[in-house]
Amino acid sequence: MSDVLIIGTIALDTIETPFGKVGRALGGSATYAAFAASFFSRPAVVSIIGNDFPEEYIGLMKKRGISLDGVKAAGRTFHWDGFYEYDMNEAKTRKTELNSLEGFKAKVPQKYRNAGYVFLANIDPEQQIAALKQISKPELVVLDTMNFWINHKRKQLVAAIKNADVLLLNDGEARQLFSTISLVKAANSAISLGPKAVIIKKGEHGALLFTKNKHFNAPGYPLENIKDPTGCGDSFGGAFIGYLAKTKDLSEPNIRKAVIYGSVVASHNAEDFSLNRLKSLTISDIEKRYKEFQDIREF
Residues that bind its own copies (CB under 8 A): 18, 86-88, 181-185, 202, 204-206, 208, 210, 215-220, 222-226, 253, 256-257, 259-260, 294, 296-299
Minimum distance from residue 133 beta carbon to its own copies (Å): 34
- Report the distance separating Cα 123 and Cα 137, nearest Å: 21
Decide whether 75 or 220 has the Cβ nearer to its own copies.
220
- Report the distance separating Cα 3 and Cα 31, nearest Å: 16
Minimum distance from residue 299 beta carbon to its own copies (Å): 4
130's CB contacts (< 8 A; 6+ apart) are: 105, 106
Q: Which residues lie across from 215 on neighbouring strands?
A: 210
Q: Which residues lie across from 43 on neighbouring strands?
A: 4
Minimum distance from residue 73 beta carbon to its own copies (Å): 40
- Report the distance separating Cα 33 and Cα 292, nearest Å: 23
Minimum distance from residue 166 beta carbon to its own copies (Å): 16
H helix count then E strand count, the chain? 11, 13
Decide whether 74 or 183 has the Cβ nearer to its own copies.
183
Decide whether 134 or 254 has the Cβ nearer to its own copies.
254
Would you say 233 and 170 are in contact if contact means Cβ atoms under 8 Å apart?
Answer: yes
SS3 of 74-97: the string is CCCCCEEEEEECCCCCCEEEEEEE
- Report the distance separating Cα 60 and Cα 66, nearest Å: 9
Decide whether 199 or 226 has the Cβ nearer to its own copies.
226
Minimum distance from residue 4 beta carbon to its own copies (Å): 21
Decide whether 121 or 187 has the Cβ nearer to its own copies.
187
Minimum distance from residue 198 beta carbon to its own copies (Å): 12
Specify the 3-state DSSP secondary structure of 114. coil
Decide whether 59 or 253 has the Cβ nearer to its own copies.
253
